[in-house]
Structure 1
Amino acid sequence: MKALVYEGPRQMNVREVELPVPQDDEVLIRVAYSGICGSELSGYLGHNSLRRPPLIFGHEFAGVVEHVGPAAAAAFPQLGRGTRVTANPLVTCGHCAACVRGKQQLCASRKLLSASLPGSNAEFVAAPARCVYALPANVTLEQGTFVEPFACGVRAAELAEAKPGQSALVIGLGPIGLFALQALQAYGVSRIVAVDRNPQRLDMAAELGAIPLDPSATPDVLQEVLRLTGGTGADIAIDAVGASTTRTQCIESVAFGGRVIFTGLHEADSSLPVNHIVRREIACIGAFAYSTANFRTALDWIAEGRVRLDESWIVKAPLEEASHWYEALLGNPGKVAKVLLHP
C-alpha cells in the first residue's frame, strides 16, 4: 500500500509498504482523511522522542472498514465491511487501575497510533475493534477526523469543571485551542477571551463567539483580561501552547480559586509563580489526551452540531503534498485550522 513515511527530521516521503495484517480482534480501515496534529509537527522536526524514523504518522482519521478479524466480528457486529468509522488511536490495556477507573489516558502501557504503532497517513490502518466507532449518518468523514482532537478539548473543559455563567481564557488557537474553546461553550461558558498572535486564528475565534486578544497589539494580557472580566480575572484558563510565558499568563489571569489547565507541550520545563498559586488557591492541572468517555462525548457532540470548523478553514491535500503542509503549518499557513491528508 501507499504510505507517507517519516524518515528523519523534515523528511517525509511516500513509499510502498506492507499492507497491515489485522489481528483477530482488529479492524482494517481504508483511510479517507488523516489530520496533521501539532504533536506530529514536533516529531517532523525531530524534537519528539516518541516518534522515531521510519514511522507512519497520523492518529486523527476517518475511513471505511475494509476487513474485520474473526473475534472482532463476533464482538462488534456493527463494524461490518463498508461501515464509515473513526477510531480512538490511544490503545490501552483495559484492565489496569487507571483503565478500570475510566482514566484510560493514564494507562502505563498505552500505545498511540503514529508513535508506538503505525499511523493513518496511509491507504490503510489497523486498530483494535474496541477502539473503532461507527459514524452517525449525519457525520461526514471529514468531521470524523475531528473526533480525536475535539476529545482533547472535551477533556480540558471537563478538568476545568466548566459551568454556565463562568468566564474563561484560552491561550493558543491551534486546533486544540479552538476545540477547547468550543468544548467550554458546550459546557455553557459564554464569555471566553481567546489569545493568539496569528490574526487569522483570532478571526476564527471571533467567528466562534470568543473575544479575540492579540498579545502583540496588547502587550499586557493580564490587564486586558482583568478589564474584560470586570476586574476579577477569568474563572478558567487553558494553556494550549505550553510555553513558560503562556503558562504564567494563565496563572496570573485567573480569579481567586480559579482553575488553570495545561494541555500544551511546547516546553518541557517552566518556572511558575508558585506563591501566587498558593495565595490565591489556584488549581493547576495537566490535561493529557482523553478518556474513552471523552472520546465518545466528542463524537456525540459533533453529531449534535455543537462543534464547528468552517469548511473554508480546512485544507484537503494528497499524501504527496504532506511535506509542503508540514512546513506551512510550522510557519503561517493563513486561515487554516486543520490539514486533512488523503491517500
Structure 2
Amino acid sequence: MLVRVAYAGICGSELSGYLGHSSLRVPPLIMGHEFSGEIVELGEDASAINPALTPGQHVTVNPLSCRGTSPLQERGLDHLCPTRMLLGAHQPGAYAEYIAVPARSVLPLPPQVSLRIGALTEPVACGVRIGELAGDVAGKDCLVIGAGPIGLLALQNLQRQQARRIFIADLDPHRLAMGADLGGVALNPAVVDVVAAVRAATDNMGVSVAVDAVGTGQTRTQCVAAAQTTGAVILSGLHEETSSMPAADIIRREIVVRGAFAYSPANFAAALNLLAENAIRLDPWIVEAPLAEGGAWFERLLVAPGNVSKVLLRPAEDAPV
C-alpha cells in the first residue's frame, strides 16, 4: 500500500549510515524508518490483510517486517527473524514524499494522536523494549548512558517500571538537561567520573541495570563497571559495531550482558498506546524541518545537537498534519 509521508524522524542509526559506518545502510538508498503519514492507496490484498485500513487514514508503520516464518517469529520476536526487512535499509525509506509499505505493518493512529506525535512510535518502541528486557527494576537504581532520544525514552520506561533512581550521563549539557527535566539524576562525564559517582551514590554497590544508549567501547565498559554484582547491562547503542569488553569483570561478578535490538510487534503497539495516553514525551525539544534541510540537520546532530531531542523532517509542505 502507498502512504504519503507527513513526518520522518532522524535516528542515530541513520547518522551512522550517513557517515558510512552502518553495514545495513549502503548507498544508493533512501533512508528513514521512523514516520507517520496518510494512506493514499490500498494494495490489491491490503483490505484482506488489514481490514481496519482505509484511504485517507492517518497511520504509523512498523518498519520491520518478515518475509518468511521462523521459530522466533512464532514467539512474537519478528524483529529477530532471519527474514526481517527494514524500511530505510533493505527497502526505500521515508525520506521521500511517498513510501510503499506492507499492509500488515500499518497501525492507524488513535484520534488523540497527531501525525507529529505518531511519528515517534518507532523510537518509543525501542524504549519499551529496553524496559521489557530490564525486567523488574521497582525500587532499584539504574543508569542510562546517553541522553539522545533512545536514552531519554529508556529513562522514561524505567520510570514507568518504578525504578528508584535513574542516573543519566551525557557529554552534551543540553541533552543532559533534558534528562534531568524528565527526572533523571544528571551526570556529565566531562565533570565527574560517571562510574565513581554512581558507586558513591549507591554505597559502592552499583546499579541493578545499566543501559548503554551510545555504543562505544568506553560507554560499554562504563556500564559494566557501574553495574552491581549479578546486575545487568543492556546494550542498545551501535555507534561502534565492535569493541572490547571487560570480560574478566563480567565473569567474576556474574553480570548479565544482553543486547536490545529494536522492538517486537507487541512493543510497537504498546508504544503507540503510551503516546495516546501522553505517558511518554520528547517535547518540548522536538524540531520540525523541511526534508530539503535534512542534510544540514544531519550535520548538526553529528556535531552539536543542542536542545533537540528529535528532528522530524517534512517531505512536503502540504503534507497532512
TM-score (norm. length: structure 1): 0.89
Is 1:145–2:134 an aligned residue pair? no
Is 1:226–2:199 an aligned residue pair? yes
- Quote the residue 1:82 is aligned against: 56
- Quote the residue 2:231 is aligned against: 258
Is 1:116–2:68 an aligned residue pair? no
Deviant stretches of 4+, over 6 Å: none
Is 1:244–2:217 an aligned residue pair? yes
Q: 1:329 is matched with which residue: 301, 307, 311?
A: 301
Paired amino acid for 1:253: A
Distance apart, 1:77 and its partner CA: 2.3
Equivalences, count: 315
Deviations 1:62-109 (A, max 9, x none): 011111113111332221011110000011135211100111111111
**Structure 2 unaligned regions, length at least 5:** 316-321
Q: 1:318 is matched with which residue: 265, 269, 290?
A: 290
Distance apart, 1:45 and its partner CA: 1.3
CA distance in 1, matches of 2:299, 2:222: 28
- Quote the residue 1:21 is aligned against: none
The 5 Å alignment of 1:1-343 reads 27-93=1-67, 95-218=69-192, 220-311=193-284, 313-343=285-315
SS of the residue aligned with 1:320? helix
Distance apart, 1:157 and its partner CA: 1.5
TM-score (norm. length: structure 2): 0.95
Distance apart, 1:177 and its partner CA: 0.8
Paired amino acid for 2:310: K
Distance apart, 1:305 and its partner CA: 1.5
Distance apart, 1:295 and its partner CA: 0.7
Contact map agreement 1:90 1:110 (CA 8 A) in 2: yes
Paired amino acid for 1:192: I
CA distance in 1, matches of 2:56, 2:236: 36
Paired amino acid for 2:173: P
Contact map agreement 1:162 1:236 (CA 8 A) in 2: no
Distance apart, 1:260 and its partner CA: 0.4
Paired amino acid for 1:71: D
Distance apart, 1:231 and its partner CA: 2.7
CA distance in 1, matches of 2:293, 2:148: 21
Contact map agreement 1:162 1:184 (CA 8 A) in 2: no
CA RMSD of aligned residues (A): 1.2
Deviations 1:283-339 (A, max 9, x none): 00011111111111111111111101113x111111111111010111113200111
Deviations 1:131-166 (A, max 9, x none): 000111111111111110111111111111143211
